Amino acid sequence: MKRIGTAILYTLTVMLVGCGAPQRVDRNSFHMGTWVVISVYNTRHAKYIEECFTLLANLEAEVSTNIPDSAISRLNSSGQARLQGDLADILRAAKLVSDASGGAFNIGVLPLQRLWDVQNRLDGEQPPTQSEIDIARELSTTGIDISDDGDALDVQLQKGRGLDLGGIAKGYAGDRCAGQLKENGVNRALINIGGNVRTVGDGEFRVGLRNPRGRAEDLFGLVTVGECNIVTSGDYERYFQTDGIRYHHIYDPETGKPARSGLLSATAIGENGAFADGLSTAIFVMGREEGLALAVNMGYDAVVVTEDYKVYCTENIRASLEIVNDEFELVSD
């Protein structure tokens, strides 16, 4: 099935709990290959949404591998750079999640991403050959050196290597937008970047967790949270299907193939958007037990859905998680 990427508009069930009739204003705009929906709950705050869209456009121009003259594309073609600012901060977060996950999260996967190119393959197409995968896997897991002198990052990439921030930059972007809104005095907002959700302000939010085998608006659960990031990675975002096998866009750096961890989706919940985004990808690669343990080690919560529609979560979030689709069963470990 040819996927149109994540351009489907995510609807999100968010009810604000415990407040008067909010004057909610939603605005959407297309960034980073997906629809971004930003909601504020006071008409006077609507003007600050545009500033977030400008921020996203500027950030995308720096960190998108889909833009030929972006900073990350220039780094990938030249093989070296000394970086500061947003790009450096994203790489620092990526290194932290990569180290914590034993390399399951790995921004070096650009060669694998380019080889598999799942969103441009049609159902029934043959996957890459094992020798092509072996070459791309080698290029994705070796020859990348990032050193940090505290002031800037020095990055050295050997020939054929490349960095891909598709698994972490949206989470970082959500926090940057939240900061921008709060600077303007916005005390309650919701930012949804293609399924990466960032809540802003006190009070509770009930955030929908997508049914990984349903349509975009179908949920398997609702989680009640305060101000945080709720980021999901799943095998339903971008994939092609051949001989009954679904080849999706989250690669296991150990095999060079789409991760086969027994999960359909992994949601990470926590304070830092880049960490939550990288963590959701890492959990999807690592699988349920190791992935939930990693979340706890990082001080984050997580909810995973297995191939047999069982739902597992970290203990802290269990009381706030409600299953709303009886095809799914919340399992206590």
| Cα 213 from Cα 296, distance rounded (Å) | 27
To ligand FAD, the closest distance from the beta carbon of 44 in angstroms equals 30
Q: Is residue 6 within 8 Å of residue 237, measured between CB atoms?
A: yes
Q: Is residue 282 within 8 Å of residue 101, measured between CB atoms?
A: yes
240: left (phi over 0), alpha (psi -120 to 50) or beta: beta
To Mg ion, the closest distance from the beta carbon of 69 in angstroms equals 25
**5 scored as a contact of ligand FAD (CB under 6 A):** yes
**105 scored as a contact of ligand FAD (CB under 6 A):** yes
Fill in the DSSP letter of residue 25. E
- CB-nearer residue toward ligand FAD: 45 or 232: 232
Stretch that binds ligand FAD, among 153-161, 209-217, 220-228, 247-255 (CB under 6 A): 247-255
From start to end of the chain, where are the E strands?
15-17, 25-31, 34-40, 80-83, 144-148, 153-157, 188-193, 196-201, 204-210, 219-225, 229-234, 239-242, 245-248, 251-252, 257-258, 263-270, 301-306, 310-313, 321-323, 329-330
Contact pattern from residue 14 through residue 53 relative to ligand FAD, giving x for each residue in contact according to CB under 6 A and a dash for the rest? ------------------xx--------------------
Chain positions 156 to 195 lying near ligand FAD, rule: CB under 6 A, are 164-167, 169-170, 195
**281 scored as a contact of ligand FAD (CB under 6 A):** yes
Q: Is residue 132 within 8 Å of residue 139, measured between CB atoms?
A: no
- CB-nearer residue toward ligand FAD: 60 or 200: 60
Work out which of 39, 106, 272, 314 binds ligand FAD, going by CB under 6 A: 106
Work out which of 139, 163, 263, 285 binds ligand FAD, going by CB under 6 A: 285
| Cα 193 from Cα 59, distance rounded (Å) | 13
- CB-nearer residue toward Mg ion: 62 or 164: 164
**273 scored as a contact of ligand FAD (CB under 6 A):** no
Q: Contact positions toward ligand FAD, by CB under 6 A?
A: 5-6, 32-33, 60, 63-64, 66, 105-107, 109, 113, 164-167, 169-170, 195, 233, 237-238, 249-251, 253, 277, 280-281, 285
